Every structure is written in C-alpha cells, then in structure tokens.
C-alpha cells in the first residue's frame, strides 16, 4: 500500500492483507482466488448443517465451486438441471447457478450468485439480470469473495444499506446528489461511507476539497486479498463532512486497476461497518458492472430534458434487478416534468434535486459541502433518506 499503510495482524479470515512486495504473481486476482482454496487468508464457512446448492451442468464450474466450498468445510449439493433441485432449492442456505443455465423453473427463489468463468464477458451480467441473480462471481478471480459471501449467507448478521447513485446522462449531477445524501445522513447521526465508483471521473475527493485528508484511497487497496475487516477499513479511511469516503486520487496518473474481487470485498466490509454506503457509480460500463450489482437500491439523476430521458432508458438495460428510482433535476414546470418523465423512463420519480446557483463553481472549488447545508438541499436529502425506510434515521437533517 502506498498511502497511510495498514499493518494488520497476519491471522484470521477478516484481515485486510496486502500482498508482500515481490510475492504477487502476474494477475493479483488469480492469486487471491488460489488463496480461497486453503491459503492463510481463507474465508471459512461456519460449521452448520445447511447446504449450498449449485445448479450447473458444467464440469469446470462444478470443480471450481467444489474446491471453494470443500476447502472451507462446507457441504455442496450439485444438480445438473434446476428442475432437479426440487425441495433442496428452497431449503438451501445459498443457491448458486452456473452460466450454462438459461432458464429457471417457475416459483423458484432467485439465485444468490451467478457463477461463470473468465472470457464470458458482458453476457454474464445480462444473464444475471434475466435470471434475477443477486450477484455475479467470475471464477477463479472471485473465489475468495465467493467463499466469504457464502460464509455470511449461512450466518447472516445485520448490515447497512448500499445505495447507488448514477446519472441518466453525462453531467446530470449524480456526484452532487451522492455527496448531499451522504452529508445529510451523517448529520442525522448515521454511520456513512461515500464511495467513488468511477476511476475516470477525476477523483471524488476534489469535490469534497479533501485531497489532503489522510487515509486510504482505491489504489492502496489494489493488492488487498482475503476478507476485509470492517473496523480496520473504517479506521483507515479519510473523513469529510462527517462521513467517511473512499475516493480515487485526484491526480493525472492512469488509474491503478482494482480487481472485481477486491471491490466486492470492500463493499461487503462497508456494508458490515456502516449504516449507509452511498456509491457514486458513474456511467461507464465497467463501474456499473463492478458496483451497481452490489447495491440494494439505485437512484438515477435525470435532468428534465428529452435527450436525458432517452439516454436514461438506454442505461437501464445495464442495471441489475434491484429497486431503481429517478431523482429529477430541474425546476418545477419544466416541459418534461415528473409524470411525463416517469412515463418516458418507466421508473418512479422519488425526489427533485434542487437547482442552486453556483453548484458548478462549488464543484470546481470543493465547496459542495457548504451548499449541502442550505435548507432546500437538506429537504431534498431528508426526503430521499425517508424513502429508504427503516434502518436509517429519518426526518429533516439538523
């Protein structure tokens, strides 16, 4: 790690373990996958009798999943066809479906994870949406994450809400909305993490004027492996506006690649360590696949313009099967207002992002948090948080 490096103990499944220099083979994600099959940072499954069901006719996928579950001491039942699952389907602690399965029997609960292999590309995410799968695991890269995910599915604990915010078109104001929602929730007393999901957006820390705040950024986590400890993550992240944030650095350097397994591990730890995780997803295909599929809900900021509505409809094709709503940006009385926008996009309008003078200048100068204290902004963010339901403080922010 290059910035404010963590020095966790080298034992236990819930440690953030950086790869020692010179010990990382080409393809760090693959080394993490191998560790899931018995390395020192294995995520162990609890010793309970509930089984994991895998539906696949692929010998490759079966071998990969058997290796992960067997190394952790779990019990796996494999069926070649979902129709063969019968009573085992609803009684399983977790249901996995291979990418060779194209259709599920009626009245079967949605699978927890769609598992596939390297080289299948975008088809995995489209298939997951068609089957209603909650997550996608690309093996062998995501082996460590899958072991940890199965562990928590068999011994579930309380977790926070992961809210994704994205723009229906370029320049819609998604980053602004995400910052104000995080700021308002923190003002209510909730433990909040704001996550920068777009490596190419220039760095969320710029909008917060927090480039100098000490703490980890995404590149510092690029070589992390194994499960991420929620407490260690929270202690090592920078804070601004009363909430923690995880940003890409605001620099001219090419973004350091962070593997999908690492992103999943960080988000899962964030869910366990915070009451609300707000993810500024971005609009590119890669951030959508990396972050949107781990969100519980997604809010899309859409200006009250016809072109923005058309762009938003196209973008919906890449959304995971989670609850999605629109945050309308525009003054009341615009030609394409709430009801018309709902009809055009096919999503309900949850709230209206206030139009304030100086937002663009505040974004450039890092003063968005100052604008977030205005009454209109607090009312907007409070309404959004109220709509998230139980589990978060509700009411007007102080």
Looking at residue 30, its pLDDT comes to 28
Q: Is the pLDDT of residue 384 over 80?
A: yes
Please state the three-class secondary structure of the chain as a single string.
Answer: CCCCCCCCCCCCCCCCEECCCCCCCCCHHHHHHHHCCCCCCCCCCCCCCCCEEEECCCHHHHHHHHHHHHHCCCCEEEECCHHHCCHHHHHCCEEEEECCCCCCCCCCCCCCEEEEECCCCCHHHHHHHHHCCCEEEEECCCHHHHHHHHHHHHCCCCCCEEEEEEECCCCCCHHHHHHHHHHHHHHCCCCEEEEECCCCCCCHHHHHCCCCCCCCCHHHHCCEECCCCHHHHHHHCCEECCEEEECCCCCCCCCCCCCHHHHHHHHHHHHHHCCEEEEECCCCHHHHHHHHHHCCEEEEEEECCHHHHHHHHHHHCCCCCCEEEEEEECCCCCCCCHHHHHHHHCCCEEEEECCCCCHHHHHHHCCHHHHCCCHHHHHHHHHHHHHCCCCCCCCCCC
Q: What percent of the chain is modeled with pLDDT above 90?
A: 39
Looking at residue 228, its pLDDT comes to 81
Mean per-residue pLDDT, 101-115: 83
Looking at residue 256, its pLDDT comes to 80
Q: What is the pTM of this model?
A: 0.67
pLDDT band at 72 (very low <50, low <70, confident <90, very high): low
Looking at residue 392, its pLDDT comes to 62
Q: Is the pLDDT of residue 158 over 60?
A: no
* Separation of alpha carbons 54 and 39, rounded Å: 23
CB atoms within 10 A of CB 121: 10
Judged by average pLDDT, the poorest of 92-106, 237-251, 327-341 is 327-341
Mean per-residue pLDDT, 359-376: 88
Mean per-residue pLDDT, 39-43: 36
Looking at residue 73, its pLDDT comes to 67
Mean per-residue pLDDT, 61-80: 88
- Tell me what the pLDDT averaged over the chain comes to: 80
Looking at residue 242, its pLDDT comes to 95
274-290: per-residue pLDDT in tens? 999 999 998 888 888 88
* Angle value at C-alpha 335, between 329 and 340, nearest 5 degrees: 80
Looking at residue 55, its pLDDT comes to 93
Looking at residue 278, its pLDDT comes to 97
């Amino acid at each position: 790690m290059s910035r404010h490096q963590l020095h966790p103990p080298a034992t236990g499944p819930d440690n953030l373990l950086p790869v020692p220099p010179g010990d990382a083979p080409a393809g760090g994600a693959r080394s993490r996958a191998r560790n899931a099959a018995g390395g020192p940072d294995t995520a162990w499954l609890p010793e309970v009798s509930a089984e994991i069901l895998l539906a696949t006719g692929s010998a490759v996928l079966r071998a990969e999943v058997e290796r992960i579950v067997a190394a952790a001491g779990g019990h796996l039942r494999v069926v070649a066809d979902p129709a063969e699952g019968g009573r085992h389907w609803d009684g399983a602690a977790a249901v996995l479906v291979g990418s060779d399965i194209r259709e599920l029997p009626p009245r079967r609960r949605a699978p927890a994870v769609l598992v596939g292999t390297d080289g299948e590309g975008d088809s995995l995410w489209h298939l997951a949406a068609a089957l209603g799968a909650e997550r996608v695991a690309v093996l062998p890269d995501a082996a460590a994450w899958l072991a940890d995910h199965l562990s928590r599915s068999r011994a579930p604990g309380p977790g926070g809400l992961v809210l994704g915010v994205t723009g229906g078109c370029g320049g819609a104001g998604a980053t602004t909305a995400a910052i104000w929602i995080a700021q308002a929730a923190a003002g209510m007393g909730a433990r909040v993490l704001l996550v920068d999901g777009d490596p190419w957006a220039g760095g969320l820390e710029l909008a917060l004027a927090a480039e100098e705040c000490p703490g980890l950024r995404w590149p510092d986590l690029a070589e992390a492996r194994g499960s991420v400890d929620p407490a260690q993550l929270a202690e090592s992240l920078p804070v601004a506006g009363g909430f923690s944030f995880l940003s890409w650095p605001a620099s001219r350097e090419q973004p350091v690649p962070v593997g999908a397994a690492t992103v999943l591990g960080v988000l899962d730890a964030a869910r366990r360590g915070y009451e609300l995780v707000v993810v500024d997803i971005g609009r590119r295909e890669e951030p959508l696949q990396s972050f949107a599929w781990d969100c519980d809900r997604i809010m899309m900021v859409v200006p009250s313009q016809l072109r923005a509505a058309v762009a938003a409809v196209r973008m919906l094709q890449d959304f995971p099967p989670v609850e999605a709503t629109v945050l309308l940006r525009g003054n009341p009385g615009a030609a394409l207002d709430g009801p018309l926008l709902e009809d055009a996009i096919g999503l309900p309008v949850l709230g209206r992002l206030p139009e304030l003078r100086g937002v663009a200048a505040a974004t450039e100068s890092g003063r968005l948090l100052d604008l977030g204290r205005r009454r209109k902004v607090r009312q907007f963010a409070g309404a959004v948080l109220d709509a998230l339901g139980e589990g978060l403080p509700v009411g007007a922010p102080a």
